[in-house]
Structure 1
């Protein structure tokens, strides 16, 4: 065997070893990448589930009526009181003063509810 044959054989074996290592490394990295992708997907699914629960909780809390304190009546809001005063004939200035609302709000209520035959 000549020296060139030995060198050629050594280069061929070295190339085969390098290719085998590269194949093994690519396979291992692919599996590692797949594991990381699966972990990331699981994390995203958990976040999505938490967001869905939060959205359902918010939707339920928005649809529930506002809790009332003892003795509170829905007609006791300044606007409902203003509507009642307008129906009894008070002016916008008197309504604004008694209910603690602005004059423009009182005028709007007067324009909506004075002589309103549907209410």
Structure 2
């Protein structure tokens, strides 16, 4: 029989070559689609964390300044600055619905869609009437 004879060593080399080829193809695909290896501690992730910390500190300083201005305006007799509401639009809409406000008014004040406001009014006006 005069066929092609493949030894186990040749088969091993071909298999390793295919594995290397598929790994290279996988890495090329991942790089092409924006995936990258995890970065070290001094990379962009650390820069973003630093920026977030700086922004949080600036917000705290601005809150302190706003409170000082409100105290100053109250002591000087001027109209007080409107308080910053930390209430979510949904909580505000629920409060207005319980007070009996109309859907169009709630939608415009809270910045919610009419469907959301109709649902809130349907749910919370019934609760208030029980």
TM range (shorter): 0.3 to 0.5
Q: Normalised by the size of structure 1, how large is the TM-score? A: 0.43
Give 1 or 2 for the bigger CA radius of gyration. Answer: 1
- When normalised by structure 2's length, the TM-score is 0.40
